[in-house]
Amino acid sequence: MKIVQIIGARPQFIKAAMVSSAWKSKCDEIIIHTGQHYDYNLSKSFFNELEIPEPDVNLNVGSGSHAKQTANMLVGLEKHLQNISPDWVLVYGDTNSTLAGSLVAAKLSLPCAHVEAGLRSYNRKMPEEINRVVSDHLASLLFCPTSNAVENLKKEGITTGVHNTGDVMADSLFHFLELAQQKSRILKKLNLKLREYSLLTLHRAGNVDDREKLESITLALRQIRDKIIFPIHPRTQKMLQQFQLGLPRNVVAISPVGYLDMLMLEENADCVLTDSGGIQKEAYLLGVRCITLREETEWVETIDAGWNVVVGASPKAIVSAYNDFRPTNDRPQVFGDGRAAGRIARVVLEQIDCRRKL
């Protein structure tokens, strides 16, 4: 019973850690790391912290254009999946690794499961939207994190193989939060106190590769007087330098941090400013107000509950939200009960048993 997990970016490492734990010793698991995230703090440190088995294969594709990166993944994945001949392939989220894994599995007639299926921002200019739509239409099993995701698939005529399991990132947060509270020293290292700073993450191409948007965001940061901790993504750092844009003094740029440190930075912040989908969810689960630096979000549940506001890159909208947006609503348990990984593992293993009996 062989299952291949294809991963390549930080959120996928986190999700795969929970699923790996759920079916431990019940199958032969092969982990293929595409190498999409190759910086230590964006990759290897997550394997160490989350106790994920070392990848059996690392394609080491590195950076490049979407076409070049995806093409290199396709070539590498085809070779290894042909050699392994797995019973199932699992892909996660909405990255180029997700797209490449789904395409190769479909071409090789291998059954593929998409974890975090059904999300839609309805913005086809986002590469992530293309990746998730294509992956959903190729997958045999679709594991949805929310009921909204199930409805999105239904609108596109996808009803077979759809399971509302809850969100594996919620599983991970519930599982690792206490460990982070015990082990992380990031607050002491940065001399931070509860609710006396905000946290910024910024990495999406639509923001950081667009000089006008990136400059608008930095202008907004200059109008916020509070301390802002900014674990800076390599891509963002590169584009700030290329566009010759500086950060204001109140923004403390630090190297990317591991998962446990990031949880602590999120949990203790007064506000999270981000263009990351995963961090929107984590802020919601931790009860921290979130300002999303995009024009839309696939995590509409956080908006509906009143804990997230979408502002784009407008300095006026960003500063206004930072000063005035103070959630007081309850936070419904929209992302599940922390047992999504177990449900995913059970369904996949049952599918393998059924196929072998045919």
Residues with catalytic roles: 203
Instruction: Say if residues 14 and 277 touch (Cβ distance below 8 Å).
Output: no
d(C-alpha 314, C-alpha 312), whole Å: 6
Neighbours of 79 (CB within 10 A): 13
128-138 exposure pattern, b = at least 16 Cβ within 10 A, e = fewer: bbbbbbbbbeb
Alpha helices in 117-167 (DSSP H): 127-138, 147-155
Report residue 15: phi and psi, to 5°. -65, -45
Angle between helical axes of 10-22 and 340-357 (0-180°, round to 10)? 60
Q: Which residues make beta-bridge pairs with 230?
A: 253
d(C-alpha 170, C-alpha 189), whole Å: 27
| Selection from 342, 234, 216, 275 nearest residue 290 by Cα | 275
d(C-alpha 160, C-alpha 32), whole Å: 27
Q: Are strands 57-58 and 88-92 parallel, antiparallel or unpaired?
A: unpaired
Count the helices and strands in the chain (H runs, E runs).
16, 13
Report residue 10: phi and psi, to 5°. -45, -55
